[in-house]
Amino acid sequence: MTITDPDARTAATMSGAEITDEALAAWVREIAELTQPDAIHVCDGSQEEYDRLTDELVEAGTFIRLDESRRPRSFLARSEPSDVARVESRTFICSEKEVDAGPTNNWVDPAQMRAELAEVFAGSMRGRTMYVVPFSMGPVGGPISRVGVELTDSPYVVVSMRIMTRMGAEALAQVGRGADWVPAVHSVGMPLVDDDGLRREDVPWPCNDTKYIVHYPETREIWSYGSGYGGNALLGKKAYALRIASVLGRDEGWLAEHMLVLKITGPDGRVYHLAAAFPSACGKTNLAMLRPTIPGWKVETIGDDIAWMRPGEDGRLYAINPEAGFFGVAPGTGEMTNPTAVAALEHDVVFTNVALTDDGDVWWEGLTDEVPAHLTDWQGQAWTPDSGRPAAHPNSRFTVRADQAPSIAPEWEDLGGVPLDVILFGGRRATNVPLVAESFDWEHGVFIGATVSSEQTAAAEGAVGALRRDPFAMLPFCGYNMADYWGHWLAMGERLGSHAPRIFQVNWFRKGADGSYLWPGFGDNARVLEWALRRVNGEVDAVEAPTGRLPRPQDLNLEGLELTDEQLEALFAVDRASWLAEADLTEEYFAQFGDRLPAEMTRQLDQLRARLG
């Protein structure tokens, strides 16, 4: 017994690490009284604890242990078919005032939401263990790092949090030392004991049809109910490191961004750092692990999904990766596209919703050119190439420690982060947006970020392929009014002045008339990075186009590529009529923000129209 309170109304037995912080102990008790678990376990993050939990998950049927000789210490989880992606329609920003959540977020009055959640969470953990999961986003104790504590009734979440964050005793000690911590409550919403005390059998993937992913930005709290899926349930990631942290950044003068961070070394040995914001399933993990096809260049990984950035003493913008692992999209990850990820996945991986081979290994579309003759698909059904459906879910994922990637940069855990030279904004656009364009200045770069449209992917519920605005790739992740967020970026530009990273727009996904991708992408994206860095160094001129500065044909390294002149032209074509039509849509889009819209954005739109003529 490590929490001693004679008045405690929870009968739960306690195990695990000791909680010394009074406020934390009181909150754990309060949530246990509300959710009524059978037991409470305070996680220390040890290997023994991890092994015991994975054994229990195998026992419960949640995990299938993969063949030890093919994929040591690795597991496959199959979710409920309804619980495979983030649920944006059930994600709420409950600020005191609706306008502070802004028109792009779902808002509910916080008092009303608290009342609603008190009902759904009442008894929601009955028959289960409530795990206390202390975690640090960023290296423990680092100046940019932050701690949080997630209470969850899902051992799958505990195991995943140990891979994705610095989880356990050290983070708990930070709380004990008085560090500010963000409380996060998670329940799968399937109690094993009903109101009459009747016990029911557990299922391999407990969840609830009703889901809530709730954030209170003013009090910095997170509540998640009904889902076991990563983006909804691993609350250190999107909920804390983006939605809550974006609010912290606004209030404290820094940025929490949906960006990969990489280190790139040129043939002359010069080192640069680059961050890139692409919407979910639009290439962040792949770019972060890129193997350049052009000689002399080397890319190393700092982070693949989230960046926390703040100005350093030298005036430059420094970025850390607050995570400790990768929660990556499996389909499309193969030896040809992302050999680094394939190497990272050799052992100690949790896979979710991929297919199982007959010899106890995993497979997904794109892993190998050769398709296995027989598999068990992500729903546990027999599968053959003639089945007419994918073997792995399109949003199936791997969860793996970051340091298992052979590309991991030695600096990836540097407490103060790495200084950024370049920021990229991208999306998935079959038309209109050129392969690469340099912004005219920071303000224009913010406009480019603010107006990103992208075709929707399987990473969230909704119609795949539909074009939607996803400013800064933050549409589902900004914890406050998006227009204020643009204002915050503009202010950051003022503060950074001439030290600001250069901003570029990129699009790997433009298609030709025949519907196939014009650009080979993946390792060849290094060619685009090379051009951007040559621009940063002032080595090459550029062509002024209405939407930004484009490479002169002789400056983009295309050696060894089979690209026709027509394809090259199509990659960079800026169709004035389409862009004018897009400008009209941007005006409509901006209108919803009313007087919160920074005047600079309207000015940029006017200037774009003027350049389009």
Ligand X SMILES: O=C([O-])CC(=O)C(=O)O
Binding mask 324-363 for ligand GTP (x = CB under 6 A): ----xx-xx----x--------------------------
Binding status of residue 280 toward ligand GTP by CB under 6 A: yes
- Name the token pair of 435: 């392969």
Binding status of residue 85 toward ligand GTP by CB under 6 A: no
Residue 86 near which of ligand X, Mn ion, ligand GTP, none (CB within 5-8 Å, type-dependent): ligand X
Spatial distance between the Cα atoms of 334 and 289, rounded to a whole number of angstroms? 12
| Closest separation in Å from C-beta 229 to ligand X | 6
**Would you say 283 is a known binding-site residue?**
yes
Choose the stretch contacting ligand X; rule: CB under 6 A; options: 31-39, 44-52, 112-120, 231-239.
231-239
**Would you say 576 is a known binding-site residue?**
no
Strand order in the sheet with 382-383: 362-363, 355-357, 375-376, 382-383
**Would you say 15 is a known binding-site residue?**
no
| Closest separation in Å from C-beta 369 to ligand GTP | 14
Q: Which of 286, 357, 396, 505 binds ligand GTP (CB under 6 A)?
A: 286
| Contact call for residues 355 and 349 (beta carbons, < 8 A) | no
- Name the token pair of 294: 């052009």
CB-wise, 215 or 237, nearer to ligand X? 237
Region class of 135: left (phi > 0), else alpha (psi between -120 and 50), else beta: beta
Q: Which of 104, 280, 321, 439 binds ligand X (CB under 6 A)?
A: 280
Spatial distance between the Cα atoms of 482 and 485, rounded to a whole number of angstroms? 5
CB-wise, 103 or 521, nearer to ligand GTP? 521
| Closest separation in Å from C-beta 303 to Mn ion | 10
Binding status of residue 327 toward ligand X by CB under 6 A: yes
Binding status of residue 456 toward ligand GTP by CB under 6 A: no
Binding status of residue 449 toward ligand GTP by CB under 6 A: no
Tell me the catalytic residues: 282
**Would you say 537 is a known binding-site residue?**
no
Instruction: Calculate the dihedral angle through the C-alpha atoms of 224, 225, 230, 234, rounding to the nearest 10 degrees.
Output: 40
**Would you say 286 is a known binding-site residue?**
yes
**Would you say 523 is a known binding-site residue?**
yes
Q: What are phi and psi of 460, to 5 degrees?
A: -135, 160
Q: What is the DSSP string of 352-421?
A: ES-EEETTS-EE-TTS-SSPPS-EE-TTS-EE-GGGSS-SS-TT-EEEEEGGGSTTB-GGGG-TT-EE-S
What is the total residue count of the chain?
613
| Closest separation in Å from C-beta 285 to Mn ion | 4
Size of the site for ligand X (CB under 6 A): 9
Q: Which of 86, 128, 162, 527 binds ligand X (CB under 6 A)?
A: 86
Binding status of residue 600 toward ligand X by CB under 6 A: no
- Name the token pair of 226: 């009904």
Binding status of residue 390 toward ligand GTP by CB under 6 A: no
**Would you say 67 is a known binding-site residue?**
no
Q: Which of 238, 263, 310, 488 binds ligand X (CB under 6 A)?
A: 238
Residue 230 near which of ligand X, Mn ion, ligand GTP, none (CB within 5-8 Å, type-dependent): ligand X
Q: Which of 330, 408, 459, 612 binds ligand X (CB under 6 A)?
A: 459
Spatial distance between the Cα atoms of 176 and 170, rounded to a whole number of angstroms? 10
Looking from the CA of 573 toward its CB, the CA atoms found within 13 Å total 17
Could you say which DSSP state residue 460 is in?
A: B
Cα dist from 326 to 79, 153, 345, whole Å: 19, 22, 10
Choose the stretch contacting ligand GTP; rule: CB under 6 A; options: 161-169, 381-389, 521-529, 547-555.
521-529
Spatial distance between the Cα atoms of 289 and 406, rounded to a whole number of angstroms? 9
Binding status of residue 156 toward ligand GTP by CB under 6 A: no
- Name the token pair of 386: 């003639």
Q: What is the DSSP string of 255-272?
A: EEES-EEEEEE-TT--EE
Q: What b-and-e string marks burial along 45-62, b requiring 16 or more CB atoms within 10 Å of the CB?
A: beeebbeebbeebeeeeb
Chain contacts with ligand GTP (rule: CB under 6 A): 278, 280-286, 304-305, 328-329, 331-332, 337, 459, 508-509, 517, 521-522, 525
Chain contacts with ligand X (rule: CB under 6 A): 86, 230-231, 237-238, 280, 305, 327, 459
Annotated binding site for Mn(2+): 238, 258, 305
